Amino acid sequence: MAVLHNRISQKELKERLYQETEPRTTLSFYHYFIIEDPKQFRDMLYKQLNELKVFGRIYVAHEGINAQVSVPVSLFESFKNYLYSITALNGIRLNVAIEDDGKSFWVLKIKVRDKIVADGITDPTFDMSKKGSYVNAEQFNALTNEPDTIVIDMRNHYEFEVGHFENAIEVPSDTFREQLPMAADMMKDAKDKNIIMYCTGGIRCEKASAYLLHKGFSNVFHLEGGIIHYANTVKEKGLENKFLGKNFVFDERLGESIGTEIIAKCHQCGKPADRHVNCINSACHLLFIQCESCAKEFEGCCSKECQDFIHLPEEQQKALRKGIDKGRNVFNKSRIRKLQN
Ligand SMILES: [Zn+2]
Ligand SMILES: [Zn+2]
């Protein structure tokens, strides 16, 4: 019988990866297309990609595929050929990570999910095949020069806070599923305008564009490959850059500057800052923006309370930490920003 799941311990897998001498290429791709039998598609994919020594995290759903993987350099062509042999995936863009040591994954995990992007949509007539038109960086720049164009940011508030496109509108919510109806409502008087949606890599705004079309909008566009691809294209082709500030990314850098300006403020003192950090108090771990001098003053903590906490004896901290569910603790300023505007 074919191996369809990994059966080796995490520890051993990690060790194997570190003993590997061949470099790996890390890349991501996604595509919306109808998969009739996600379970069967998943098993077929696992079998083939396992043979090609691919590691990573892949989600498969009725609506498509979303993947972040690493591939040994010598097998990259075979990997690409295999992927492109699947009709729906033929020619899809593979986003290769630039700064990367190839050690981000040490096992292949392919999971069947309800959706590749959780959207909360229950309407059975919603159709992902009717989506907005792609715009590339050049078209984005040209279209945003027209007065009848509205740009909507479909990322989270903390991503918007440190960087976004000129004149972009923020949809102030913590979750994508809340943002969809909210965006449609915010735009209800602009049904005849050009609406361009964007996100980090394109997967969310592509769905959002289909959602607006579903809601009766007619001129809906979405930025191909998201901010990441836009920033690369602008650099490569020497185009005008309309992205201000930093692009937030979930790795140890927590952000990559695209524009040169700092558009956010330190949450503690209000001085210009765009450095996201997690509160050093592990019972809090709040994600917030902190300037260098506040980092010193508060010893990496988000508040005086947390600073006091980290100086308690370890035993006492442990006792107090019990029962605290920190979840995804994120400082949310978007609602405050909304009220100020
Ligand atoms: Zn500060
Ligand atoms: Zn804290």
pLDDT given for residue 326 in this prediction: 55
- Concerning whether 199 is annotated as a catalytic residue, the answer is yes
Q: How far is the CA of 170 from the centre of ligand 2 (A)?
A: 26
**String of DSSP letters for 5-63:** S--S-HHHHHHHHHH--S-EEEEEEEEE---S-HHHHHHHHHHHHHHTT-EEEEEEETT
Ligand approaching nearest to the C-alpha of 284: 2
How far is the CA of 193 from the CAs of 181, 184, 189, in angstroms?
18, 13, 9
How far is the CA of 54 from the CAs of 21, 42, 64, 203, 282, in angstroms?
15, 14, 19, 22, 34
pLDDT given for residue 205 in this prediction: 95
Catalytic residue among 199, 294, 302, 306: 199
User: In the structure, what pLDDT confidence band is assigned to residue 340 with cuts at 50, 70 and 90?
Assistant: very low
CA 227 – CA 335 distance, rounded (Å) = 23
Q: How far is the CA of 309 from the centre of ligand 1 (A)?
A: 20
Q: Over the stretch 69-125, which tens digit does the pLDDT of each residue have?
A: 999 999 999 999 999 999 999 999 998 876 667 777 889 999 999 999 999 999 999
The answer to whether 248 and 227 have CB atoms below 8 angstroms apart is no
Lowest-confidence pick of 6-10, 86-90, 222-226, 295-299: 6-10
Q: How far is the CA of 251 from the centre of ligand 1 (A)?
A: 22
pLDDT given for residue 12 in this prediction: 85
C-alpha 312 chain-centroid distance: 37
Ligand approaching nearest to the C-alpha of 272: 1
Ligand approaching nearest to the C-alpha of 303: 2
Q: How far is the CA of 268 from the centre of ligand 1 (A)?
A: 5
Q: How far is the CA of 17 from the centre of ligand 1 (A)?
A: 41
Q: Over the stretch 211-265, which tens digit does the pLDDT of each residue have?
A: 999 999 999 999 999 998 998 899 999 999 999 998 876 555 566 777 778 999 9
- Environment of ion ligand 1 (residues, CB < 5 A): 266, 268-269, 291, 294
CA 29 – CA 104 distance, rounded (Å) = 16
Q: How far is the CA of 308 from the centre of ligand 2 (A)?
A: 10
3-state secondary structure of 172: coil
